[in-house]
Amino acid sequence: MEEIDWVSLRAAAQAAMERAYVPYSHFPVGAAALASDGRIITGCNVENASFGLTLCAECSLVSALHGAGTPGELTVGETPPRLVAVAVVDRHGSPLTPCGRCRQLLHEHGGPELLLETSGGVKRLRDYLPDAFGPEYL
């Protein structure tokens, strides 16, 4: 397993967690990733009065991966970077296991070999989402 600085990644996830918008659940979540272009990107959960519209921390992480809202980070037509390693944390900075929908989101952008740290330790995404559906099935 490649060398990942999980302590730094967790710290970045915790800093992102502080920006969570969670007036309904009061359950802030932060996510941080090492991307294939070397960037550390982060996301936090953003809730909505229409509860089902809530964006999980992993959703904003994936948006950040694509440079959404950050002009100049990715040139148009450039191959988007991939997720290499992801840490998701709760309010205490402890690893949190991503919900099923987010496992699928992470799979699209990191694939089965993505390293994921959860309450169960560091594993490959394929261990959390076996036989995943992906673009190759379309």
Which chain residues interact with ligand THU by CB under 6 A? 22, 25, 27, 29, 45, 47, 54, 56-58, 98-99, 102
Determine which one of 2, 58, 78, 108 is catalytic: 58
Q: By three-state DSSP, how is residue 40 classified?
A: strand
- Identify whether 108 is a catalytic site residue: no
Are the CB atoms for 87 and 98 separated by under 8 Å?
Answer: no
| Least distance from ligand THU to the Cβ atom of residue 34, Å | 18
Place of tokens 């390693």: 85
| Least distance from ligand THU to the Cβ atom of residue 138, Å | 25
- Kindly tell me the sign of the dihedral angle through the C-alpha atoms of 115, 61, 92, 22: negative
36 versus 97: smaller Cβ distance to ligand THU: 97
Q: How far is CA 46 from the centre of its chain?
A: 14
Catalytic positions, please? Answer: 58
